[in-house]
Amino acid sequence: IARRRATLAELEKRFRALPVRTEIPAEVDRRLIGSALARVRWELEVNPGWRQAPAFYVDQALASPHELLVIPPPFDSQRSRDLVRRLDAVPALVEQARQNLDRMRGPFLRVALEQLRDVRSRLSRMAQALRPVLARDAAGAIGPSAERAAAALESFRTWLEQRAMGLPEETAVGREAYLFFLREVALVPFTPEQLVAAGRQELDRALTFEALALNRSRSIPPLPLLPGVTAVVDRERADEERVRKFYADQQLLTLPAWLGHYRFRPMPDYLVPMADVGVPDDLTGPGRLDQDGSAYVEAPTEHMGYFQGAAARDPRLQIMHEGAPTCRPRSPPRIRGRFAGTTTTPARRRAWPSTTRRCSSRRGSSTTAREAVTSSTT
């Protein structure tokens, strides 16, 4: 940490020496460099999840293997070895957590305890389901690696439980710190009060239009759930083709030949116990532009989260939310993303605040996580 602080200070000094540019593209680049450095300052000093939030480390432990699980099979030898190696790194990560968490907050600790619930069972079921599909060497190692990771995370949970009493409940960074984030990191010119006013206006608009839509369609029965995973997958494939045809027929968007598809896939057994660690989808990346994007779906039930329940009735909602092509017609594939929600940056999920993902996951919501994250920026 001391080395990173010194490096950051040196980079900030060099950035401050850069002159303001009159050419707009050059000035945009200068400001983006400043934003990147300010983000490091924000996470290292102003809002240090690595010192306050045990979930920072839980996510490092679980989200890292999750990234490899969501890539569609087959598992080649490299990915199989990487999965074992990431699980093997968990005990050392837990030890770092014990050393660094000197400013924990009660709400953040409770989020981590929730994440660690049944962690041994989840990792065990994941490893058991993975064994038949991994490369031979990794298939033999995945069980012991998952067991060691589970033991480390269970010991971490016990360590947290022993320190849960008497922790500060305040999680808000405060107005001045939030202004720093808005001005220096997000490069947003608005005040918190202006953002709240805009948010309330948008909420009123959304609720009004929802009420109008419900009233207009009050005589129409709700859409039924599709009958099973196969029906959902097949309907999404057909709907995605129809969406593409609609773009072309209406002369709205020309889709280049290299643009991949967005496909629903049945949730594999090895992903089921780990699905809510992150969003259960794979929108590819710069190194896999020849592959289709994937979103994993389970058997439709009335108790699904909002997005999964909507997609199990009408997959077009999910296609437009996540899978609709948004690239420019002449943009080369190495520059533009291939699906809505993709970028040219690898989709490596940050460790904090991952609880935002938990409360917005298509699999459901976590009130504890939502409250903790919301209050941290109040």
**281: which strand partners?**
295
262 pairs with which residues across the strands? Answer: 293
Rg, the chain, Cα only: 23
Contact 296, 70 (CB under 8 A): yes
What confidence score (pLDDT) does residue 325 get?
64
Distance, first Cα to last Cα, the chain: 27
Calpha distance 261→322 (Å, rounded): 11
What is the pLDDT tens value at each position of the chain, 378 positions in all?
899 999 999 999 999 999 999 999 999 999 999 999 999 999 999 999 999 999 999 999 999 999 999 999 999 999 999 999 999 999 999 999 999 999 999 999 999 999 999 999 999 999 999 999 999 999 999 999 999 999 999 999 999 999 999 999 999 999 999 999 999 999 999 999 999 999 999 999 999 999 999 999 999 998 999 999 999 999 999 999 999 999 989 998 888 888 889 999 999 999 999 988 989 999 888 888 888 999 999 999 999 888 889 999 999 989 988 877 643 333 343 333 444 333 333 333 333 333 333 333 444 444 343 334 334 444
- Write down the domain spans for the chain: 2-46, 50-161, 225-347
Among candidate residues 163, 154, 138, 4, the one with its CA nearest the CA of residue 68: 138
Collapsed DSSP state (helix, strand, coil) of residue 374: helix
Q: pTM of the predicted model, to two decimals? A: 0.79
Q: Which residues contact 241 (CB under 8 A, 6 or more apart)?
A: none
CA distance 195 to 191: 6
Assign 3-state DSSP to the chain and report helix, strand, coil percentages, each to 5.
Answer: 60, 5, 40
* Nearest in space to 297 (alpha carbons), one of 249, 262, 246, 258: 262
CA-to-CA distance for 160 and 52, rounded, in angstroms?
Answer: 12
Round to whole Å and give the CA distance between 170 and 177. 14
Q: What is the DSSP letter of 135?
A: -
Strand partners, 293: 262
For residue 356, the model assigns a pLDDT of: 33
> Residue 360's pLDDT is what?
35
| 230-235-240-242 Cα dihedral, nearest 10 degrees | 150
Cα(116)–Cα(375) distance, integer angstroms:
22
Beta bridge partners of 264: 295
